[in-house]
Amino acid sequence: MDNAKGLMPCEALPPSFVGSGGRHSLTCRKSANARFGDDTAVLSAFIILSTLSSTFIGAKFLGISVPVALQLPFIIYVTVKYGASLRIPYKQSLFWFVCLGLFSYLYSLLLSYADLKGYVSDHITYCVEYTICIIPLIVCYSNIPDGRDRLRWGIVWACRLECIWGILQLLLYTIAGVNISQVVFGDLLHLTNTNDWLTTYNAGDATHIRTELRLTGTTSDGAFLGLFLVVGLVLDRSLLMRVVYIMAAMLSVQRATVVCMVVVIAVYVYRRIKASLSEQKKRSHLRVRNIAIVLAISVIIIFFLYRYSDIVISRFGLMLARFNTSGTDGTYRHVMYIPWVLQALISTNPFVALFGVGLRSSGVLLSDPDGPFWQYLNAYMQSGRSWAIESDIACVFGGCGLVGGLVYLYMFGMFFSRCSNDYRVLVLAVFCFAFMYDFSSLIVGYLIYTLLMLDSMRNSGYKIRYEGIASV
């Protein structure tokens, strides 16, 4: 891959990399200028804006979604630059999945659920977002030169931002009682957020209740922070950052994050052991050694902090406690969402069963007060408004129906069969995360899917011309 540590496209390398010999030579810089002209820095800036803004999940300014609004500069720039030469990737399963999502939002406006609070206004908003942002975003990334490597580079920096910000959250709040997200985003930038830039909850028993901070990074929910940590662990080539991702996951007390990281590390260990038996035995042993170093450093740091820090002790205790699956707590709901939704689809009318009720309103299928699922829902879910199920697979089946759900599974199947080995690990990690939390209705979800689509296109014989036109 023509990038520095797999992060930065060759043509976007700073001057310090140019003329260093090897694959980052002067020839590379000259070919980049010949192919892309002098607008490389401008395009890279818009990509960074696009990917970093996707981390502000739930953030709004004057009622406008920040992640959606900050995609528009990139979309406008690419549209103006390439104009009529833009090609729609209509043969890709991701494109059809997005189109089904838009159709479900439009169709569900005619359902009886439209009486719910905020249902109609939310769906109209989502239709506008799909039309002016999500569909154009996928088209634009599939048409820019070296779109896969550029997008990967941007996503990695977004993951780094989330990871570092989450750790700062914990340190400043625990040591000084400062909510850094509220200070920066709320007080200085005047952004609003679903949880007012702070998520806390009571922990402990009835006689020793304490308030604990749930790490969220720049997002509205700790689970979204976990998604960035998992993706960063897969895509980031920096050994140091991989250690930091693992540490942040342990401190975040997010179950989905920990489970997905265990799966990713297990896959890497398996692949390295298998590679060590091949012809590249010496090189493979180096990779096994690198993984062993990462795990050893992580274990040492965790043991030290566990032994000498009450803060980390409490965080580990909370993480273990949150794996409890008994009763009617959140863990039980997450485990049962998929069978519940399938049961609800079978018992509903045929049109809803086929096309759903809209991605971000999938929870209405479970919200019947006389239904079998009502007793397991929390107060927000029982509040009489639309809500999204906190499991991506269940959310897609409930939001887009059986048709959308099958396209969704087919899309993952195509990603896994056509992507390169490195990106297959990302497919596995994201699909594992999809069992436990929803993200397909978010900008970051579509950026991840677009990255996988671009890699699968590259490995399936689709030619992306240097002028930025994707032949699909």
Domain contains 276: no
> By 3-state DSSP, what share of the chain in percent is helix, strand and coil, each rounded to 5?
65, 5, 30
Residue 438 CA to residue 394 CA, distance in Å, equals: 8
Contacts of 89 (CB under 8 A, 6+ apart): 95, 138, 139, 142, 453, 457, 470, 472
CB neighbours of residue 262 within 10 Å = 12
Average pLDDT estimate for 82-111: 89
456: pLDDT strictly greater than 60: yes
pLDDT tens digit sequence for 345-374: 998 888 889 999 988 888 888 888 888 888
Asked whether the predicted pLDDT for residue 76 surpasses 90, the reply is yes
Q: And the tokens for 160?
A: 């780094």
Average pLDDT, the chain: 78
Q: Does pLDDT of 251 surpass 70?
A: yes
User: For residue 418, what pLDDT band results from cuts at 50, 70 and 90?
Assistant: very high
Domain-embedded: residue 21: yes
Task: Kindly tell me if the per-residue pLDDT of 72 is higher than 90.
Answer: yes
Question: Could you tell me the pLDDT band of residue 301, with boundaries at 50, 70 and 90?
Answer: low
Distance CA(387)–CA(368), nearest Å, equals: 13
Distance of CA 253 to the CA centre of its chain: 18
Percent of the chain with pLDDT over 70: 73
Residue 275: burial class (beta carbons within 10 Å; 0-12, 13-18, 19+): middle
Burial class (CB in 10 A: 0-12, 13-18, 19+), 234: buried
What is the DSSP secondary structure assignment for residue 248, as one 8-state letter?
H
422 or 313, higher pLDDT = 422
Burial profile 281-296: b = 16 or more Cβ within 10 angstroms, e = fewer: eeebeebbeebeebee
pLDDT-derived band at 36, boundaries 50, 70, 90: very low
| pLDDT for res 50 | 95
pTM above 0.85, yes or no: no
Residue 274 pLDDT > 90: no
| pLDDT confidence tier of residue 330, bands split at 50, 70 and 90 | low
Q: What is the mean pLDDT of residues 376-389?
A: 80
C-alpha to C-alpha distance for 370 and 385, rounded to whole angstroms? 16
Task: List pLDDT tens digits, range 218-246.
Answer: 888 878 999 999 999 999 998 889 988 98
Confirm whether 84 is domain-assigned: no
Where in the sequence is the domain holding 30, given as residue range(s)? 1-38
Q: Does 334 reside within a domain?
A: no
Lowest mean pLDDT among 1-5, 186-190, 441-445: 1-5
Q: What is the pLDDT of residue 60?
A: 87
Question: Any idea what DSSP says for residue 432?
Answer: H
The answer to whether the beta carbons of residues 388 and 363 sit under 8 Å apart is: yes
Does position 312 have pLDDT exceeding 60, yes or no?
A: no
C-alpha neighbours within 13 Å on the C-beta side of residue 137: 32
Domain count within the chain? 1
Per-residue pLDDT for 435 more than 60? yes
Query: Could you tell me which residues come within 8 angstroms of residue 93 by beta carbon, excluding any fewer than 6 positions away?
Result: 407, 410, 411, 414
- Note whether residue 104 is domain-resident: no
Q: How far apart are CA 349 and CA 147, in angstroms?
A: 42
Q: Where are the alpha helices (DSSP H) in 37-146?
A: 40-53, 66-69, 72-82, 93-107, 119-129, 135-141
Give the integer Cα–Cα distance in Å for 343 and 89. 34
Task: Categorize the per-residue pLDDT at 6 as very low, low, confident or very high, splitting at 50, 70 and 90.
Answer: very low
10 inside domain: yes
With respect to residue 95, please indicate whether it lies within any of the assigned structural domains. Answer: no
At 318 the pLDDT is: 54
Residue 398 in domain = no
